[in-house]
């Protein structure tokens, strides 16, 4: 579904503008259709830059990328028709209701999708008349995904979708991602959350300094890099405590 | 250029802006307040504050002061030289006339002293001839001589025009500029800051549809807001529009498009909210003072007049004024319209050069 060959992006160094450095450095990657693919890595590893090049937001300095056989750089508008994007910044025109905003997105794609259906998919059916500013963090992320679904995309890009969410909202978003994935949408997401990588993603690429340093299924990666079985925990972790005390019901 | 998507966008933007009542009210606040403050003044000049030091204390001096006091142009305050001197310095009196002790006999000439503040040279230039004429009139009255001629002033325009009539087209032009610039430039920067432009960029929308939609919505709003202003001026303050109202609206629409596209240029250059404030003010303030909004360009120093005459706001304000005050038709104001057209070309070319979707979005 996604083929990336030797992709590069140069930026001037923040501390010395005359000097350039590679934010993404000769990256090659294949994402098969129907996967949930996770990109991990420390801040500044080049995760967002990679996504932005695939989305057409950032120019590609070297190499090439194809989504569904379409060259990203040569046919940006054809790419935009088949991808759905959730950006890290998820602010919208604040004087419009969610339904009106979704109507706008459907119009931008000339898509026949109905706002009510899209809101239903992300569990926000009762918020059609709400304004984005009235939403909680988790609801905002789900609304962002609803916007990204306006054109019935084949690939969905999620940039740190669970950063800043409470455990309930996080688990709810994972369930949504699995749902969308099982309906046939390929998902590429970036994350700092290792649980998310392990339990949600079918395959993982770990990036550092603009390069992929490991790529495999979570199980194989664990086998290869952390094979010792941990001492069987005598107890659960703090998240288990939190969920045991507060329940798994979504709070927003 | 206008397709269904830009119309849909225009409707969405219009809906958004109409819901932003606070912004609507505040953008109208200053011009309406200004117009009301100036419009309710009768248009008559305020009397000139004249201090008189009566050192003569005689019958002639009393008659003289009485005759001067009959002239409505002057508001007389009597007092000691010391008191009136400081009143002059503080601006409470414009001029101070000193009648010497020798001012007793109508047959013998005596020298009157006049204290002025030379720092107020500009105003004095207008006051002194009027004052001198008043003195001559008083002298004639005291000597009981008939003037050999009198001057009757007739207005060739033969219609009553007050300051409000002069002000109205200027204020329309100024309001048009500020709401257009903030409507396109300031909005663009805000959408960029919130990441909305970035989000729109990853949809297949064409930049021209986005720009047309935004401009169309702002244009409609601008026409509505100016109509409110015009309505207040005409119905509450008795302002008159001598020319064709359709021509007036033609210029309003043209002017809005010019400032909207110039606003897009500013919004594309400025990357932050602070930058657009600074750049916007740099654009707005000089034009506010140089474009003949509150006083004619002819009254500016000669050195800046050529510059003032080619500012975009000058062309728009002049065109509106020629229609509103002098009743000229569009054909008769071709030079002004040409100026507006040139600025439109500049704004449009620069906007298309500067508004690079990908760069503005990021």
Closest C-alpha to B285, from B177, B159, B125, B155? B177
| Segments of chain B assigned E as strands | 48-54, 74-78, 95-99, 113-116
Q: What's the whole-number mean pLDDT along residues B277-301?
A: 85
Q: pLDDT tens for residues B101-127?
A: 888 777 777 788 888 887 776 677 777
Helix (H) or strand (E) holding A85: strand A83-86
Q: Return the pLDDT at B257.
A: 92
Residue A82: which pLDDT band, with cuts at 50, 70 and 90?
Answer: very high
Residue B178 CA to residue B280 CA, distance in Å, equals 9
Residue B160 has pLDDT above 70, yes or no: no
Question: In a mutagenesis test of the B interface, which of A84, A107, A160 is the best target, namely the one with the most B β-carbons within 10 Å?
Answer: A107
Q: Tell me what the pLDDT averaged over chain A comes to.
A: 88
For B70, residues 6+ apart whose C-beta sits below 8 A from its C-beta are none
Closest C-alpha to A11, from A25, A22, A26? A22
Question: In a mutagenesis test of the A interface, which of B202, B205, B208, B213 is the best target, namely the one with the most A β-carbons within 10 Å?
Answer: B202
Residue A23 CA to residue B334 CA, distance in Å, equals 56
Residue B161 has pLDDT above 70, yes or no: no
Across the interface, whether the CB atoms of B202 and A80 are under 8 A apart is answered yes
Q: Return the pLDDT at B99.
A: 82
Distance from CA of B198 to the nearest CA of A (A): 8
Name the phi and psi angles at B42, rounded to 5.
-65, -15
Q: Is A152 in CB contact (< 8 Å) with chain B? A: no
Residue B44 has pLDDT above 60, yes or no: no
Query: Where does A2-246 sit in CATH, by number?
Result: 3.40.50.300
* Bridge partners (DSSP) listed for residue B99: B54
Q: What's the whole-number mean pLDDT along residues A201-210?
A: 90
A98-104 contact pairs (CB < 8 A, 24+): A98/A124, A98/A127, A98/A128, A98/A129, A98/A130, A98/A131, A98/A132, A98/A135, A98/A143, A98/A146, A99/A128, A99/A129, A100/B12, A100/B15, A101/A132, A101/A147, A102/A146, A102/A147, A102/A150, A104/B8, A104/B9, A104/B12
Structure-token pair, residue A15: 């501390």
Q: Return the pLDDT at B342.
A: 94
Q: pLDDT tens for residues B125-139?
A: 777 777 788 788 877
With beta carbons under 8 A apart, name residues in chain A contacting B12. Answer: 93, 96, 100, 104
Residue B158 has pLDDT above 70, yes or no: no
With beta carbons under 8 A apart, name residues in chain B contacting A100. Answer: 12, 15
Residue A155 has pLDDT above 90, yes or no: yes
In chain B, what are the domain boundaries? 4-41+162-361, 48-143
List, as ranges, residues 104-143 from A with C-beta within 8 Å of B.
104-105, 107-110
In chain A, what are the domain boundaries? 2-246
Residue A223: which pLDDT band, with cuts at 50, 70 and 90?
Answer: confident
Q: Return the pLDDT at B45.
A: 62
Q: Give the ipTM.
A: 0.83
Closest C-alpha to A161, from A143, A184, A179? A143
Q: Return the pLDDT at B241.
A: 84
Higher pLDDT, B92 or B179: B179
Across the interface, whether the CB atoms of A58 and B362 are under 8 A apart is answered yes
Q: pLDDT tens for residues A115-140?
A: 999 998 888 889 999 999 999 888 89
Residue B75: which pLDDT band, with cuts at 50, 70 and 90?
Answer: confident
With beta carbons under 8 A apart, name residues in chain A contacting B188. Answer: none
With beta carbons under 8 A apart, name residues in chain B contacting A131. Answer: none
Helix (H) or strand (E) holding A142: helix A137-148
Q: Return the pLDDT at B154.
A: 65
Selection from A160-164, B46-50, B341-345 with the highest mean pLDDT: B341-345
Q: Give the CATH architecture of domain B48-143.
A: 3-Layer(aba) Sandwich (3.40)
Share of chain A above pLDDT 70, in %: 99
Q: Tell me what the pLDDT averaged over chain B comes to.
A: 83
Q: Return the pLDDT at B341.
A: 92
Q: Return the pLDDT at B224.
A: 92
Q: pLDDT tens for residues A18-49?
A: 888 888 888 899 999 999 999 988 888 888 89
For A89, the closest of B195, B201, B205 (CB atoms) is B195
B150, burial (CB in 10 Å: exposed 0-12, middle 13-18, buried 19+): exposed
| Segments of B62-200 assigned E as strands | 74-78, 95-99, 113-116
Residue B43: which pLDDT band, with cuts at 50, 70 and 90?
Answer: low
């Amino acid at each position: 579904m996604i083929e990336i060959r030797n992709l590069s992006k140069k930026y001037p160094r923040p501390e010395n503008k005359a000097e350039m450095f590679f934010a993404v450095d000769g990256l090659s990657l294949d994402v098969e259709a129907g996967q949930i693919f996770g990109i991990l890595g420390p801040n500044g590893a080049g995760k967002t830059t990679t996504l932005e090049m695939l989305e057409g937001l950032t120019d590609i300095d070297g190499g090439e990328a194809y989504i569904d056989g379409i060259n990203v750089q040569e046919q940006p508008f054809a790419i935009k028709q088949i991808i759905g994007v959730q950006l890290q910044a998820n602010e919208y025109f604040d004087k419009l209701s969610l339904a009106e905003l979704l109507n706008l997105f459907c119009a931008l794609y000339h898509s026949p999708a109905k706002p009510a259906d899209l809101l239903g998919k992300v569990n926000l059916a009762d918020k059609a008349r709400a304004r984005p500013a009235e939403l909680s963090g988790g609801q905002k992320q789900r609304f962002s995904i609803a916007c990204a679904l306006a054109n019935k995309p084949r690939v969905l890009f999620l940039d740190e979708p669970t950063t800043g969410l409470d455990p309930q909202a996080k688990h709810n978003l994972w369930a949504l991602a699995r749902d969308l994935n099982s309906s046939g949408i390929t998902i590429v997401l970036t994350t700092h959350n290792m649980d998310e990588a392990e339990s949600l993603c079918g395959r993982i690429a770990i990036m550092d300094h603009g390069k992929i340093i490991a790529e495999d299924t979570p199980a194989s990666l664990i086998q290869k890099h952390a094979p010792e079985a941990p001492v069987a925990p005598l107890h659960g972790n703090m998240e288990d405590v939190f969920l045991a005390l507060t329940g798994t019901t979504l709070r927003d | 250029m206008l397709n269904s998507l830009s119309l849909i966008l225009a409707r969405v933007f219009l809906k958004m802006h109409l819901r932003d009542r606070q912004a609507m009210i505040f953008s109208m606040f200053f011009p309406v307040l200004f117009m009301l403050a100036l419009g309710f003044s009768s248009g008559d000049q305020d009397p000139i504050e004249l201090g008189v030091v009566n050192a003569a204390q005689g019958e002639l001096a009393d008659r003289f002061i009485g005759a001067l006091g009959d002239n409505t142009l002057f508001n007389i305050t009597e007092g000691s030289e010391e008191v009136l001197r400081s009143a002059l310095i503080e601006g409470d009196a414009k001029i101070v006339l000193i009648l010497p002790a020798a001012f007793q006999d109508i047959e013998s000439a005596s020298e009157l002293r006049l204290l002025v503040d030379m720092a107020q040279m500009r105003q004095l230039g207008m006051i002194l001839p009027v004052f001198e004429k008043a003195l001559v009139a008083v002298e004639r009255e005291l000597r009981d001589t008939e003037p050999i001629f009198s001057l009757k002033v007739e207005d060739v325009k033969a219609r009553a025009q007050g300051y409000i009539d002069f002000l109205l087209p200027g204020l329309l032009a100024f309001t048009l500029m500020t709401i257009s610039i903030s409507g396109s430039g300031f909005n663009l920067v805000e959408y960029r800051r919130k990441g909305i432009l970035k989000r729109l960029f990853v949809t297949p929308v064409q930049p021209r549809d986005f720009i047309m939609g935004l401009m169309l919505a702002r244009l409609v709003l601008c026409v509505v807001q100016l109509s409110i202003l015009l309505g207040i001026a005409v119905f509450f303050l008795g302002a008159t529009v001598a020319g064709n109202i359709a021509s007036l609206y033609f210029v309003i629409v043209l002017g809005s498009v010019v400032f909207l596209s110039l606003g897009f240029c500013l919004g594309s250059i400025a990357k932050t909210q602070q930058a657009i404030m600074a750049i916007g003010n740099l654009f707005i303030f000089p034009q506010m003072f140089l474009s003949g909004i509150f006083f004619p360009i002819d009254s500016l120093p000669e050195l800046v007049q050529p510059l003032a005459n080619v500012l975009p706001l000058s062309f728009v304000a002049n065109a509106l004024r020629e229609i509103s005050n002098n009743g000229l038709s569009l054909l008769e104001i071709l030079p002004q319209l040409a100026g507006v057209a040139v600025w439109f070309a500049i704004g449009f070319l620069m906007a298309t050069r500067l508004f690079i979707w990908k760069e503005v979005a990021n």
